[in-house]
Amino acid sequence: MRFSGLIVLSLALFLSGCGKSQTTDHSVHGGGHEAGSAEQVQAIFQVAASPAKSKEETTVTIQIQDMNGKPVNDFDLNHEKKMHLIAVGKDLSYYSHLHPEYKGNGLFTISTKFPAGGDYRLFADFLPSGKEKTVKSHTLTVQGEKASAVAIEPDRTLTKTIDGNEVTLNIDHLMAGMELNLTYTFKDAVTKSPIQDLQPYLGAVGHVVILDANADQYLHVHPTDEKSKGPEAKFMTTFPKSGVYKIWGEFQRGGKVFTVPFVVNVP
With CB under 5 A, what is the number of residues at the site for Cu ion? 1
Nearer to Cu ion, 84 or 222 (CB): 84
Closest CA to 182 of 160, 212, 210, 218: 210
CB of 31 to Cu ion, least distance (A): 18
Q: Check residue 187 for interaction with Cu ion (CB under 5 A).
A: no
CA 30/CA 180 separation, integer angstroms: 11
Q: Is the distance from CB of 118 to CB of 143 less than 8 angstroms? A: no
CB of 259 to Cu ion, least distance (A): 12
What secondary structure, in 3-state letters, does 165-218 show?
A: EEEEEEECCCCCCCEEEEEEEEEECCCCCECCCEECECCECCEEEEEECCCCCE
Helix (H, G, I), strand (E, B) or coil at 23: helix
Nearer to Cu ion, 82 or 187 (CB): 82
Residue list 110-149, contact with Cu ion (CB under 5 A): none
CB of 86 to Cu ion, least distance (A): 8
Q: Is the distance from CB of 3 to CB of 16 less than 8 angstroms? A: no
CB of 210 to Cu ion, least distance (A): 14
CA 256/CA 76 separation, integer angstroms: 26
Which region, judged by CB under 5 A, interacts with Cu ion, from 34-42, 78-86, 145-153, 170-178? 78-86
Which region, judged by CB under 5 A, interacts with Cu ion, from 8-16, 60-68, 77-85, 227-235? 77-85
CB of 104 to Cu ion, least distance (A): 20
Which region, judged by CB under 5 A, interacts with Cu ion, from 10-18, 46-54, 68-76, 81-89? 81-89
CB of 256 to Cu ion, least distance (A): 16
Q: Phi and psi of 22, rounded to 5°?
A: -65, -15
CA 31/CA 253 separation, integer angstroms: 26
Nearer to Cu ion, 187 or 220 (CB): 220
Q: How far is CA 228 from the centre of its chain?
A: 22
Nearer to Cu ion, 84 or 246 (CB): 84
CB of 67 to Cu ion, least distance (A): 26
Which region, judged by CB under 5 A, interacts with Cu ion, from 55-63, 82-90, 105-113, 127-135? 82-90
Peptide bond into 51 cis (omega under 30): yes
Q: Check residue 84 for interaction with Cu ion (CB under 5 A).
A: yes
Q: Which residue is nearest to Cu ion (CB)?
A: 84
E strand or H helix that includes residue 224: none
Q: Which residues bind Cu ion (CB under 5 A)?
A: 84
